[in-house]
């Protein structure tokens, strides 16, 4: 067992070594990247240096665009005789609604019927959190949010559903 004196001596030597090598251990920016880096023709190809930033042209996806996506999906559902989509946490939920819900053991779902009013399924104690996100989605309205208990589908027998299965479920 090392003594307190030898431990402190070795720790001090380690700190001194770290300080002297510290600058060698800090990663440096790649050529042509980072602040102060030159974008000379020797560091990047001309096709890359000629590129201009387009971040000023990026526009957020609007509620109207999401509504158009929903209507397009409904037309495709009708053509393929799909009665409803069940969207749970994942890319499709964000694509149609801009609702970002972390998947877990409790279900949060958007049921998008081919005809009729979409509705949501979630545990009662998550309802306030859900309503905050739904308020920013295409489903926000003055007539309120439809929840599974208040909607007219009492049975699913004979209906064709399309359910998105998150990749996290397939790993169990």
- As a residue count, the chain comes to 172
Number of structural domains found in the chain: 1
In a domain, 26, yes or no: no
Whether the full predicted model's pTM is greater than 0.75, yes or no, is: no
Distance of alpha carbon 26 from alpha carbon 5, whole angstroms: 31
Q: What is the pLDDT of residue 73?
A: 95
Residue 24 lies in a domain: no
Report if residue 51 sits inside a domain.
Answer: no
145 within domain boundaries: yes
What's phi and psi for 107, nearest 5 deg?
-80, 130
pLDDT score at 147: 65
Q: What does the alpha-carbon distance between residue 80 and residue 77 come to, in Å, rounded to a whole number?
A: 5
What domain range includes position 102? 63-151
CATH of the domain at 106: 3.40.350.10
Residue 164 lies in a domain: no
In the chain, the DSSP E strands lie at: 84-88, 109-113, 119-121, 161-163
* pLDDT values of the chain reduced to their tens digit, one per residue, 172 residues: 778 777 778 777 776 666 666 556 566 665 555 554 454 446 899 999 999 999 999 999 999 999 999 999 999 999 999 888 889 888 899 999 999 888 777 888 898 989 888 888 888 888 888 888 888 888 876 455 666 654 444 455 555 556 665 555 554 4
CA distances from 138 to 117, 127, 159 (A): 12, 17, 25
> 95 lies in a domain?
yes
Separation CA 81–CA 74 (nearest Å): 10
- The answer to whether residue 20 is domain-embedded is no
Residue 100 in any domain: the answer is yes
């Amino acid at each position: 067992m090392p003594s307190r004196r030898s431990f402190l001596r070795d720790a001090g030597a380690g700190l001194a070594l770290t300080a002297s090598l510290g600058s060698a251990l800090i990663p440096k920016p790649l050529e042509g990247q980072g602040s102060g880096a030159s974008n000379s023709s020797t560091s990047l190809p001309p096709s890359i240096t000629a590129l201009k930033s387009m971040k000023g042209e990026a526009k957020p996806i609007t509620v109207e665009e999401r509504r158009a996506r929903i209507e397009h999906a409904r037309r495709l559902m009708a053509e393929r005789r799909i009665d409803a989509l069940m969207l749970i946490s994942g890319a499709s939920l964000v694509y149609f609604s801009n609702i970002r819900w972390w998947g877990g053991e409790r279900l949060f779902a958007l049921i998008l019927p081919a005809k009729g009013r979409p509705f949501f399924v979630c545990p009662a104690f998550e309802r306030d959190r859900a309503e905050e996100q739904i308020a920013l989605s295409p489903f926000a309205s003055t007539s309120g949010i439809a929840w599974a208990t208040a909607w007219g589908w009492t049975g699913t027998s004979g209906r064709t559903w399309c359910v998105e299965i998150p990749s996290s479920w397939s790993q169990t």
